[in-house]
Amino acid sequence: MILYPEESTIDFSKMEYIPECKDDFPVVCYGYDLHSRMEPWHWHDEFEANIIESGTAVLKLEGEEYHLKAGDGYLINSETLHSLSSLDNSHCKIKSMIFRKDVIGGKPGSLFWTKYVSPVTERRDFYGWVLKKDLTWQKEILDSLKKIFSLFESEEDDFEIKTRELLSKILSVTVKNLPPENPENKKTTQNNISKIKVMLLYIWQNYSKAITLSDIANAGAASKNDCMLCFAETVGTSPIQYLKNYRLEKAAEYLTFSEKKVSEIAELCGFQDKSYFSKSFFQKFGQKPLDYRKAQRNN
């Protein structure tokens, strides 16, 4: 079965738990529209593979940005920091799959893990693939993804076995086409990503409070300059601007899925001045908070 959740199912306080990914069959498929549900910066231990069904999506992978159109897809490596949104907040339908490493590799140290999982997950300079049907091997992965989504829709008797076979094929093709490793970039990348993850977690867990640049930097054991550089190179914005955007995105969630008053939402999201909150919200979403709530309910 393909799930159609309105809100993100990832726990943004830990970034390591996707409740629908069950131990008995650790593969889950989603369908959603990025117009009503975006995926802000996050990461998880599982692999992720998506296909754009309609519209244009903006995928960001640890400092790189890609515009994907209908028919394109992507595969994201375990623990990779990424975000996904629609272009200009327009409708963009996605089919998404999350799968754990052990569904293919079994136990760490097994032959399957050593040949098909480790070569991918241990490459911290490899974030994943953007998939286009113009390249034969990428089309092969896209076709396998489409078959998996069809299997989840039909749920025929042996769809789990067929899904595992197709996922094994996807990782096999990925391993064969991995780019040459860049040892010089690997250490710098790991250090920056480790810092940014700690600082992002700090923001997610404390966004309702007063937070300064020093607070964010201290969370990552970094200087203020290193903190700003790390955000610029990885997330593509400043720490304070990221904090503001995250607060506004949380406010949009409250407006959509709760009955709380605008003044209460503003305070819950770290805005002490309601007029500043309303102005900032309009600049980001093009609507006043109450108009945004009404539009979301009508959709």
Q: How do the pLDDT tens digits run along the chain, 299 residues long?
A: 888 887 777 787 778 788 889 999 999 999 999 987 778 889 999 999 999 999 999 999 887 899 999 999 999 999 999 999 998 878 999 999 999 999 999 999 999 999 999 999 998 889 999 999 999 999 999 999 999 999 999 999 999 999 999 999 999 999 999 998 876 655 556 678 889 999 999 999 999 999 999 999 999 999 999 999 999 988 889 999 999 999 999 999 899 989 999 999 999 999 999 999 999 999 999 999 999 999 988 87
DSSP 8-state class, residue 157? T
What integer pLDDT is reported at residue 115 of this predicted model?
96
Retrieve residue 80's tokens.
Answer: 């990779």
CATH code given to domain 187-298: 1.10.10.60
**Domain definitions of the chain by residue range:** 2-176, 187-298
Beta bridge partners of 93: 33, 54
Amino acid identity, residue 206? N
Quote the pLDDT of residue 146.
97
Name which of 55, 278, 83 is nearest 200 in CA terms: 83
- Does residue 168 sit in helix, strand or coil? helix
Can you tell me which residue has the tokens 């899904």?
Answer: 163
Task: Kindly state the tokens that stand for 222.
Answer: 């970094």
Q: How far is CA 52 from the centre of its chain?
A: 14
How many whole angstroms separate alpha carbon 267 and alpha carbon 190? 36
Give the count of beta carbons closer than 10 Å to the beta carbon of residue 263: 13
The rounded distance, in Å, linking the Cα atoms of 289 and 253 is 11
The counts of H helices and E strands in the chain are 12, 10
Name residue 66's beta-bridge partners.
59
Amino acid at 65: E
Exposure on the CB side of residue 58, measured as CA atoms within 13 A: 13
**Residue of 174, 176, 199 lying closest to 99 (CA atoms):** 174
Using alpha carbons, select from 73, 222, 202 the residue that is nearest to residue 135.
73
pLDDT on residue 124: 81
Conformational region of residue 207, where left means phi above 0, alpha means psi within -120 to 50, and beta covers everything else: alpha
The topology (CATH level 3) of 2-176 is Jelly Rolls (2.60.120)
Q: Are 92 and 51 in contact (CB under 8 A)?
A: no
What is the SS3 assignment for 146? helix
The reply to whether 2-176 and 187-298 are identical in fold is no
40 Cβ partners below 8 Å, 6+ apart? 8, 12, 83, 246, 249
For residue 96, the surrounding DSSP H or E stretch is strand 93-99
pTM: 0.87
Task: Please state, as a whole number, how many other Cβ atoms lie within 10 Å of the Cβ of residue 118.
Answer: 16
Taking the CA atoms of residue 8, residue 13, residue 18 and residue 22 in that order, the dihedral angle to the nearest 10 degrees is -140
Read off φ and ψ for residue 5, nearest 5 degrees.
Answer: -75, 145
